Amino acid sequence: MGRVKVGDLSKESLREVALKVNDASISKLNAGSPDQVRRFIKGSDVVINASNPRFNLQIMKQALREKVHYVDLAGENPQSVEEQLKQNPKWRKAGLSAVLGMGEDPGLSNILARRAADRLDQVSEIRIRDGETSQSETFPFAPLFAPEVFLEEAVSPAHYFENGEMKTNPPLSGRELYQFPPPLGEVPLYGMDHEEVHSLPKYLPKRPKFVDFKLALTDEALSAIKLFQGLGLLSREPIAVGQVKVSPFSVLLRLLPPPSKIAGKIHGSAGILVEVKGQVSGQPSVLRLYTMMTHDEAYERHRTNATSYLTGTPTSVCAMLLADGHIKERGVIVPEMLDAESFIQEARKFDLKVHEERVN
């Protein structure tokens, strides 16, 4: 493996990386500055964009300018992802790859859906279930991935795809008690707006008639989110506090612990499960593909929490496959366009255990 360069606006985050990653080159970097980004990625093979999704398009443009493969973890919204996809002709002409949404979900979830679809003759329904349980004596409320993204998703209308149409449910609706395999067990899920709902109906070779996404929220987390919303703490509109104006959301985000700070201080499990319904030889068939990990296991083995590990590992695998030339697809692509079988085989080398079961 070649040398890894890490850029971040936070000096504290850079110090943590330097302590954890041998031979990593660290630099202070403002993801919102195109000139800084361009200088930082110059001469690289692949850029992993793990910044806020609002910077995706401009970082992607700098990667293309410097002839560097690109990977990001999530999109800002469906419209911004479409703007990224419109860059496809330029990337194909340059002989480069830009892989969008390559984390746990989206990302690994798309890969699992593709693998299931490859094993079925026809695909009718895809249900993506993001499960997690967490308890902490240290933190009363601790999002397991980027707090800003998590809270925005939670209070946005939930989209799902059905019979050729994108449909909408109210935020935090569609409660469902779902039985995950051990160690997760039964957890409550709620509908969310997620990239997979928009991309799988378009880019999966065997087009489904139904796709939805639901995320686990404990009763305590649900109550906290509703309280934040009721108090106006999720508002980005500045309010006067003494002689200054601040947005309530920025204050809340400053108070919430980042995922890097909760590792080793939470217990429970996390996992992603994709349930695909279709037919094989004219007979109904349902496949479930999933991966699970406990937070204690993730901390003991990798000094992180399970959600962070399940998110970062697919991203890293994708970057390595791009750098090594194993991903041949060129242009702007989404994960379900990749070879799911070889991707999963590579991911298993990095402690990402993918299980498959036929329900009927």
Does residue 189 sit in the same domain as residue 265?
A: yes
pLDDT reported for residue 24: 80
Does residue 82 sit in the same domain as residue 54?
A: yes
Among the three residues 99, 134, 160, which one is the final residue of a domain in this structure?
99
pLDDT digits (tens, 9 = 90+) for 74-101: 998 889 999 999 999 999 999 999 999 9
pLDDT reported for residue 102: 96
Does residue 46 sit in the same domain as residue 131?
A: no
Whichever domain contains 198, its CATH number is 3.30.360.10
> Position 162: which residue type?
E
Does residue 210 sit in the same domain as residue 116?
A: yes
Domain-embedded: residue 334: no
Does residue 39 sit in the same domain as residue 145?
A: no
Domain-embedded: residue 323: no
Share of the chain above pLDDT 70, in %: 99
Query: Which parts of the chain have pLDDT scores under 70?
Result: 1-2
Q: 81 is in which domain, residue-wise?
A: 4-99
CA 143 to chain centre: 14
The domain tally of the chain equals 2
CA 346 to chain centre: 19
Beta carbons of 159 and 198 less than 8 angstroms apart: yes
Domain-embedded: residue 179: yes
Does residue 86 sit in the same domain as residue 228?
A: no
> Position 155: which residue type?
V
Structure tokens that stand for 299 in this block:
């901390």
Domain-embedded: residue 333: no
Structure tokens that stand for 150 in this block:
């998590």
Domain-embedded: residue 189: yes
Does residue 92 sit in the same domain as residue 190?
A: no
pLDDT reported for residue 2: 67
Domain-embedded: residue 324: no
pLDDT digits (tens, 9 = 90+) for 227-256: 999 999 999 999 998 889 999 999 999 999
pLDDT reported for residue 58: 95
Among the three residues 99, 125, 149, which one is the final residue of a domain in this structure?
99
Does residue 180 sit in the same domain as residue 88?
A: no
Does residue 32 sit in the same domain as residue 51?
A: yes
Does residue 74 sit in the same domain as residue 94?
A: yes
Does residue 275 sit in the same domain as residue 189?
A: yes
Does residue 132 sit in the same domain as residue 167?
A: yes
Domain-embedded: residue 315: no
Whichever domain contains 42, its CATH number is 3.40.50.720
Domain-embedded: residue 34: yes
Among the three residues 50, 82, 99, which one is the final residue of a domain in this structure?
99
